[in-house]
Each structure stands twice: as structure tokens, then as C-alpha cells.
């Protein structure tokens, strides 16, 4: 071999490196990478933040066509360990933990740049990642070894030491590594042995360890950061020599514009035209899945262009119910050419940028800007104070605008907004005429409607079949239902029905208790077992459960009875061995996107269980089947849930809705006939709405005909 062909041998690499004598990243890592054509790394903890400090070394490695293989061990938290012990799929827990590590690391701008570089390597097929863990009997442990191998096609350099592949590991911590070079006689055998150890690990041939693929699971998040690295809209700031990072000002530049790749449907164009014809005010009643967000952004982009011709900057304020909806809006806004200020959680995280944006708009140094916030942050004093002092043009877009009809929310709506747009599939507030009236007073009347039937006919939503499953209350439940109904009747007779029924009033509590009796009916679990067993081989299944615990458990003080979602998860995951996971209020925001990604993949997560968190705004277009184990009589909830499963997706031709309908027990004597009749009528309200647009409407009505005859409800 001609030693002159070996770049590694001429890179000046020493036999050891220690933090008190050198900068490990600068003096070893970067020059070794710059001289290599392949790099293998097995490490206890890997973070893309390290790539932000490698600079030119990584760039030269990539330019030379370098190939990288990484084996890492995800950091498991207490919840991960509990889920493994509870029988969750081990691969899924490990992948979720690893993705959480990546997302958390990416909060550092240097890590985001590093992820972008990783993403480019992934896209080119030059980076593979695997996860390693200790597997011995019933024990699952962390792989904690740290080895690495550089190759240049002639020589290899292997190293071992304390440094993790993280930014603190190479820059902040005190670390040391030993280096073994094949051109040094005393090092060669050990260098080759370390290389063989890595190959054994990579091919899952190492005793006590198991190694699983991770590249495919990580590819979407990697591609996202690769796109950001390449996009001038989302370019990262340069790092300074000190600890201070100079933030970019994407919020104070650019304007919303309709993306060239977006195909705007005819009905969306009509909706925007009607909004402008109404003076830039109004409510769009659009079925879930018909593209309310994109329609609203098209309107905002058109308004921005109109005001630009007058040299008038526009501030767009988007208000959404939850943080995950803020994140979804932000992604779409970025597609329209702007980086919004995301205003939620800690005020310190967004207040300065929001204030600077408003100043830039007033001074004319910015032509447009967007703030996206949650209902909670919108109503709080910091953002309200900023809006109160802003005197420029303002567009308010309210996602799921019915939420803003509550008294404490509607009082916070900025009267200075020149333009106002409300979005909702169901803008009317349940039992709150005053709140509904306040919404139309502020936003204007409904100026465009796109119902589910119209959306199905237009091809915006998929067709569906509807399967009602009748389940009976048991005797205890029937007795409690009758008792609660009688107490409700006494209150209404004494004081009338009031609009505070949804609050913590005595009447509101009783109404919720009665609804919970139906939602938690014990016969639903055996019925679910039959229905989901028949679909055991199907993927993309949603399962909606009742909130809280069975009312009878409260009555008896039985604190050991599992919740319905716990019982359903045990049935699906443990008994039927179907990969399943809950998506609830307790699910961390950082984990929700990963759950949705795994669900959409169609090979990792078969069933997603929820209570209310999938009701509003969450995009799960891959869902084919929705099991409505519990659903309230509030039309907004069951319409939202139907919309979740009707969204279009590649390869999806139709959806199936399985609805568990509660009826009185056969031959019940404890329930008065009129009480039974009213209970059935309430359930049939939802059934009638769902069956009306289903492909199998006639068959559904035939199934329910005996029940309608029994209670004289043929017209219901």
C-alpha cells in the first residue's frame, strides 16, 4: 500500500486525547472525519448537537461521499420503563424514546443544523442508525459502550473512551479517549479488533445485546431538519464564540403567499371569495377534514397581497385550542412562506420575539407577521397587553372558534381587529345561545358551509360504512340511570333548564353523571372484544373511550376498578396482542407526534386509544376504523370524531365507524317507559346523523327498526 494514499495517516492523529490537554472535537474528531470515507460509531447516547461543532470536517466527509453507521442507546425515562413492564411493544418504546432524544436535542440551534446534515445523509442513503439495548432474561438495560472507527479506504483509526456523541460530551464535559491506528505496529491488532466488535454489534451478533433498525423510524424527523437547513425561510443562526446565540428574525420578514405546490379546491376558492365579499369577516362552517386551515391561510395570503399594494403591513393572529394545534398551524404557515411566533407555555420563550415583531410592523421594517397561540395564552395578560398597544392592521383567525364563545374568552377578543375569520365544523355552542350570539356578533355570520355530505360528494372526504352495536345496561346501571334521571327532572321542574348545565352546578353534575353511565356501560367491553377481534388483522384503528371511572365505582367507593381505557388497552394489547397505545391528556406533547407517525406507518401501531385528545384538530388521515366506545350527545363531539376517520389518505377508499349504542335491559321493570324512551331517543340522535350519509344507510335503519318500534321512535 502506498502510505501517501492514506489521508488518515497524514492527519496528525495522536494516541490519546484528554480535555485538559486539547479540544477533542477540534483536534481529533474534526480532522479524522475530514480524512475519512466511512465512520462507525457505537455509543451510549447520541445527539445531533455534536454535528453543529464539527463544521468543515463533516462537510468534507459528506463531500467525499462518506458513509456513516451509528449504534446508540436511547435514554429511557420512568414512563418508558413502566410501559415496558406493562407489556408495551419494546421496539416501539425504544424508538419513541430515541425520537424524543432527537427532538429535545434539536432545541439547540446547533443541534438543528446537525440534524439537517444528518438528514441530508439519510436522504442520500449514506447514513444508517440502529438502537442497541441489553437483553438478558427479563432485564432490559442501557447499552453504554463507546467505540468509534474511521476509515479512508487504506487505514482505519479506532478509538475508545468516555466521550458520548453529544455536544457536552465533546465540548462541555471533561473526557478522554484512547486512539489506535493501523499504521502503528502496536496499535493495529487492537484497532482491527474494535472494528470487528462494531461489525458484530451492527449485525446483532453480540451476546447480551439486541440491535434493531432505527433509520426508517427517524427518517421523517431527519428529513424535516434537512429541509430546514436548506430553506432560506428556516435557516439557522450562526454560532458565536461565546454562549450567546444570535437569533434570526424570520418573524419580521417576508409575507404569507400561497405555495405553488398547493392545489386549492374550488370550494375553498368560493369560501375565500365569500369572506372578502363580506368585508373580511365571517365564520366558515367546514366539516372536519375539508381543509379549514389551508382555506384560512389562503384568505390571509390574499389579504396580505391586497394590503401590500397599499403598503400596509398585516399582523395575523391565529388562536387554536391546544399546543399541538399551534404546532400544526405553524408547519402550514411555514409552507406559506413565514415562520410564526409560537406563543404558549413560558412567556419568556416568546414575548420578546412577539414584541419585536409588532414593533417592526409599526415601523414598517416588516411587511407581515404571524403569531400562533393557544386559547389559554391568548386570554392571558402578556399577549393581551401586546395586542392592546398594537395599532396596525390585524387579522384574527380562530380555529375551532366555538371555544371562544365562553364568557371569559369572548371578552378578550380584540375589538381593534379589522379582519376576522372563525373556523369550525360546529360553530353553535351546546346549550349556550348567548355564547353563540356573541361569536356571530364578533366574527360575523356563517358565510360559507361545507358539510360532510357535500365534502364526500366533492371527494374531499372518503365514503364510510356505519355499524351500530347495541349493548344493554345491566340492572345496577339501569337503576342508577333511572335514579339520576328522576333527580334531574326534579331540579328542572323546580328551577327550569338553565344554560349553566355544563358547569359545576348540581344540574350539570347530574347530567354528566347520567352521560357517564351510558359511556361506561359494562357490556361495551365484551361487545368491543367481538368487534375488534373481527378486525384483528386491520391496521389504522381508533378507539374512543369514556373519561374518568364508572359512576358505580364512585357510588361504591371501589378505587381498584380500572378505567375503561385501561381495560380496553389490556384487551387490545395484551389479550389480542395487537400493537396499541393510549393518546391522552397525560401523553407528553413531545411523544404525540411520534405516536401519530407510528400509527400512520401502518406496521408499528395498530390501534390508537383516546378519550378527548383526538376530538379537535389532530390530523390522523390514515385512520380507517373508529370504534366509538363512548360518545356524548353533544353533536360537536360525535361530528368531530366522525371527521377524524373520514380524511383522505393514499390507498384509503372508505372508512368504517363502529358505534356502541346503549339501550335499556330487555324486560326492565325498574326504568319507567318514558325514561327508557328518552334515553333511546338521545342515542338515536347520533345514530340517525351517522346513518344518513353512510353507504349502508338502509341496512343500518333495518337493524334499529325493532328498537324504534318498541319506543315509538320511527320519526327519530
CATH of the domain at 349: 3.40.50.300
Q: What percent of the chain has pLDDT over 90?
A: 32
pLDDT tier at 245, thresholds 50, 70, 90:
very low
Q: How far apart are CA 475 and CA 10, in angstroms?
A: 85
- Tell whether 255 and 215 lie within a shared domain: no
**Of 666, 644, 669, nearest in space to 657 by CA:** 644
Q: How far apart are CA 152 and CA 181, in angstroms?
A: 12
pTM of model > 0.95: no
- CA distances, 518 to each of 471, 485, 522, 572, 632 (Å): 10, 12, 9, 21, 9
pLDDT in tens, 298-345: 999 999 999 988 889 999 999 999 888 898 899 899 999 888 999 998
In a domain, 287, yes or no: yes
- Tell whether 325 and 432 lie within a shared domain: yes
Dihedral sign, Cα of residue 676, residue 502, residue 413, residue 361 = negative
Query: Mean pLDDT, to the nearest integer, of 436-456?
Result: 92
- Tell whether 211 and 360 lie within a shared domain: no
pLDDT in tens, 540-560: 999 999 888 888 887 777 777
- Tell whether 179 and 313 lie within a shared domain: no
- Tell whether 590 and 576 lie within a shared domain: yes
Higher-pLDDT residue of 684 and 418 is 418
In a domain, 479, yes or no: no
Q: What is the mean pLDDT of the chain?
A: 80
- Tell whether 226 and 150 lie within a shared domain: yes
pLDDT in tens, 269-300: 999 999 999 999 999 999 888 889 999 999 99
- Lowest mean pLDDT segment, chosen from 163-167, 466-470, 557-561: 163-167
| SS3 of residue 704 by DSSP | helix
In a domain, 505, yes or no: no
Full residue range of the structural domain in which residue 611 is found: 462-473+524-711
In a domain, 364, yes or no: yes
pLDDT in tens, 606-615: 999 988 766 5
SS3 letters for 465-529? Answer: EEEEEEEECCHHHHHHHHHHHHHHHHHHHHHCCCHHHHCCCHHHHHHHHHHHHHHCCCCHHHHHH
Domain finish residue from 205, 234, 263: 234
* Chain centre to alpha carbon of residue 435: 30
pLDDT tier at 30, thresholds 50, 70, 90:
confident
Q: Residue 220: phi, psi to the nearest 5?
A: -70, -45
Q: Residue 407: phi, psi to the nearest 5?
A: -55, -45
- Tell whether 77 and 171 lie within a shared domain: yes
C-alpha cell belonging to residue 266: 374550488
What is the 8-class DSSP label of residue 390?
Answer: -
Residue 531 belongs to what H/E stretch?
helix 524-534
- Tell whether 222 and 120 lie within a shared domain: yes
Query: Mean pLDDT, to the nearest integer, of 60-79?
Result: 77
Domain tally for the chain? 3
In a domain, 392, yes or no: yes
- Tell whether 79 and 197 lie within a shared domain: yes
**Of 233, 223, 217, 39, nearest in space to 116 by CA:** 223
Rounded to a whole number of angstroms, the CA Rg of the chain reads 30
Query: Mean pLDDT, to the nearest integer, of 619-638?
Result: 77
Domain finish residue from 234, 264, 293: 234
**HSE of 192 in the Cβ direction (CA atoms, 13 Å)?**
9
In a domain, 70, yes or no: yes
Higher-pLDDT residue of 106 and 646 is 646
pLDDT at 603: 85
Q: Residue 616 pLDDT > 60, yes or no?
A: no
Query: Mean pLDDT, to the nearest integer, of 78-104?
Result: 67
In a domain, 55, yes or no: yes
- Tell whether 450 and 468 lie within a shared domain: no
In a domain, 490, yes or no: no
Q: Residue 583: phi, psi to the nearest 5?
A: -125, 90
pLDDT at 436: 86
Q: How far apart are CA 143 and CA 614, in angstroms?
A: 36
Q: Which residues are registered as beta bridge partners of 559?
A: none
Q: Residue 17 pLDDT > 80, yes or no?
A: yes
* Residues 6+ away with beta carbon under 8 Å from 360: 249, 252, 366, 369
pLDDT tier at 641, thresholds 50, 70, 90:
confident
Dihedral sign, Cα of residue 229, residue 230, residue 231, residue 236 = positive
| SS3 of residue 715 by DSSP | coil
**Of 631, 704, 711, 638, nearest in space to 677 by CA:** 711
Q: Residue 242: phi, psi to the nearest 5?
A: -95, -160
Q: What percent of the chain has pLDDT over 70?
A: 78
Q: Which residues are registered as beta bridge partners of 160?
A: 147, 178
pLDDT in tens, 193-220: 999 999 999 988 888 888 888 777 666 6
pLDDT in tens, 170-196: 444 567 889 999 999 889 999 999 999
Domain finish residue from 203, 234, 265: 234
* Residues 6+ away with beta carbon under 8 Å from 346: none
Q: How far apart are CA 352 and CA 369, in angstroms?
A: 14
Cβ(583)–Cβ(609) below 8 Å: yes
pLDDT in tens, 663-686: 887 655 444 566 777 778 877 878
Q: Which residues are registered as beta bridge partners of 38?
A: 67, 151
Long-range contacts of 239-243 (CB under 8 A, 24+ apart): 239/52, 239/53, 239/109, 239/110
pLDDT tier at 51, thresholds 50, 70, 90:
very low
* Residues 6+ away with beta carbon under 8 Å from 306: none
Q: Residue 594: phi, psi to the nearest 5?
A: -65, -40
Cβ(11)–Cβ(31) below 8 Å: yes
C-alpha cell belonging to residue 215: 433509520
- Tell whether 634 and 664 lie within a shared domain: yes
C-alpha cell belonging to residue 181: 491506528
- Tell whether 180 and 256 lie within a shared domain: no
Sole residue written with cell 432527537: 102
Q: Residue 268 pLDDT > 80, yes or no?
A: yes
Amino acid at each position: 500500500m502506498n502510505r501517501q494514499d492514506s489521508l488518515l495517516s497524514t492527519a496528525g492523529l495522536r494516541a490519546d486525547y484528554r480535555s485538559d490537554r486539547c479540544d477533542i472535537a477540534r483536534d481529533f474528531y474534526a480532522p479524522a472525519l475530514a480524512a475519512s470515507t466511512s465512520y462507525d460509531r457505537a455509543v451510549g447516547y447520541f445527539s445531533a448537537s455534536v454535528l453543529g461543532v464539527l463544521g468543515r470536517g463533516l462537510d468534507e466527509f459528506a463531500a467525499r461521499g462518506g458513509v456513516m453507521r451509528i449504534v446508540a442507546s436511547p435514554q429511557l425515562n420512568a414512563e418508558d420503563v413502566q410501559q415496558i413492564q406493562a407489556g408495551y411493544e419494546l421496539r416501539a418504546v425504544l424508538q419513541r424514546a430515541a425520537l424524543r432524544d432527537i427532538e429535545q436535542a434539536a432545541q439547540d440551534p446547533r443541534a438543528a443544523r446537525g440534524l439537517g446534515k444528518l438528514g441530508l445523509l439519510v436522504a442520500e442513503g449514506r447514513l444508517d442508525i440502529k438502537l442497541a439495548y441489553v437483553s438478558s432474561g427479563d432485564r432490559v438495560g442501557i447499552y453504554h459502550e463507546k467505540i468509534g472507527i474511521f476509515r479512508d479506504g487504506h487505514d482505519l483509526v479506532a478509538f475508545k473512551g468516555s466521550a458520548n456523541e453529544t455536544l457536552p460530551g465533546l465540548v462541555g464535559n471533561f473526557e478522554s479517549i484512547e486512539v489506535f491506528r493501523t499504521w502503528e505496529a502496536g496499535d493495529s491488532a487492537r484497532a482491527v479488533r474494535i472494528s470487528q466488535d462494531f461489525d458484530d454489534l451492527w449485525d446483532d451478533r453480540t451476546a447480551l445485546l439486541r440491535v434493531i433498525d432505527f433509520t426508517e423510524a427517524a427518517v421523517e424527523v431527519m428529513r424535516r431538519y434537512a429541509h430546514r437547513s436548506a430553506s432560506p425561510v428556516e435557516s439557522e443562526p450562526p454560532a458565536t464564540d461565546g454562549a450567546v446565540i444570535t437569533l434570526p428574525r424570520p418573524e419580521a420578514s417576508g409575507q404569507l403567499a400561497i405555495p405553488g405546490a398547493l392545489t386549492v379546491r374550488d370550494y375553498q376558492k368560493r369560501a375565500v371569495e365569500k369572506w372578502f365579499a363580506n368585508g373580511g369577516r365571517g365564520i366558515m362552517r367546514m366539516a372536519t377534514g375539508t381543509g379549514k386551515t389551508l382555506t384560512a391561510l389562503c384568505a390571509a395570503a390574499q389579504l396580505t397581497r391586497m394590503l401590500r399594494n397599499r403598503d400596509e403591513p398585516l399582523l395575523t393572529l391565529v388562536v387554536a385550542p391546544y399546543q399541538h394545534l399551534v404546532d400544526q398551524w405553524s408547519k402550514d404557515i411555514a409552507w406559506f412562506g413565514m415562520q410564526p411566533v409560537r406563543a404558549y407555555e413560558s412567556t419568556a420563550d416568546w414575548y420578546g420575539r412577539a414584541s419585536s415583531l409588532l414593533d417592526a410592523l409599526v415601523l414598517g421594517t416588516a411587511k407581515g407577521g404571524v403569531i400562533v397561540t393557544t386559547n389559554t395564552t391568548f386570554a392571558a395578560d402578556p399577549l393581551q397587553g401586546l395586542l392592546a398597544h398594537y395599532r396596525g392592521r390585524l387579522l384574527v383567525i380562530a380555529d375551532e372558534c366555538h371555544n371562544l364563545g365562553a364568557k371569559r374568552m369572548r371578552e378578550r377578543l380584540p375589538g381593534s381587529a379589522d379582519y376576522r375569520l372563525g373556523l369550525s365544523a360546529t360553530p353553535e355552542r351546546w346549550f349556550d345561545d348567548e355564547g353563540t350570539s356573541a361569536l356571530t356578533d364578533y366574527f360575523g355570520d356563517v358565510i360559507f358551509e361545507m358539510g360532510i355530505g357535500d365534502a364526500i360528494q366533492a371527494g374531499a372526504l372518503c365514503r364510510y360504512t356505519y355499524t351500530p352495536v347495541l349493548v344493554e345496561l345491566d340492572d345496577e346501571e339501569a337503576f342508577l340511570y333511572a335514579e339520576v334521571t328522576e333527580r334531574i327532572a326534579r331540579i328542572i321542574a323546580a328551577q327550569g333548564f338553565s344554560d349553566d348545565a355544563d358547569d359545576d352546578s348540581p344540574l350539570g353534575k347530574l347530567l354528566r353523571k347520567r352521560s357517564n353511565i351510558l359511556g361506561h356501560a359494562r357490556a361495551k367491553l365484551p361487545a368491543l372484544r367481538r368487534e375488534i377481534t373481527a378486525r384483528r388483522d386491520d391496521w389504522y384503528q381508533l378507539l374512543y373511550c369514556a373519561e374518568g371511572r364508572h359512576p358505580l365505582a364512585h357510588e361504591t367507593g371501589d378505587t381498584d376498578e380500572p378505567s375503561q381505557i385501561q381495560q380496553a388497552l389490556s384487551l387490545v394489547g395484551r389479550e389480542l396482542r395487537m400493537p396499541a397505545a393510549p393518546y391522552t391528556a397525560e401523553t407528553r406533547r413531545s411523544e404525540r407526534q411520534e405516536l401519530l407517525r407510528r400509527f400512520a406507518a401502518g406496521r408499528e401501531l395498530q390501534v390508537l386509544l383516546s378519550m378527548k385528545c383526538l376530538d379537535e384538530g389532530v390530523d390522523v388521515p390514515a385512520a380507517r376504523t373508529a370504534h366509538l366506545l363512548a360518545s356524548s350527545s353533544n353533536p360537536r363531539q360525535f361530528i368531530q370524531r366522525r371527521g377524524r376517520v373520514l380524511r383522505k389518505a393514499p390507498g384509503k377508499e372508505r372508512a368504517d365507524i363502529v358505534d356502541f349504542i346503549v339501550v335499556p335491559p330487555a324486560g326492565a321493570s325498574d326504568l319507567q317507559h318514558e325514561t327508557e324512551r328518552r334515553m333511546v331517543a338521545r342515542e338515536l340522535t347520533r345514530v340517525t346523523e351517522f346513518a344518513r350519509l353512510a353507504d349502508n344507510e338502509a341496512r343500518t335503519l333495518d337493524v334499529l327498526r325493532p328498537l324504534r318500534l318498541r319506543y315509538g321512535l320511527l320519526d327519530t
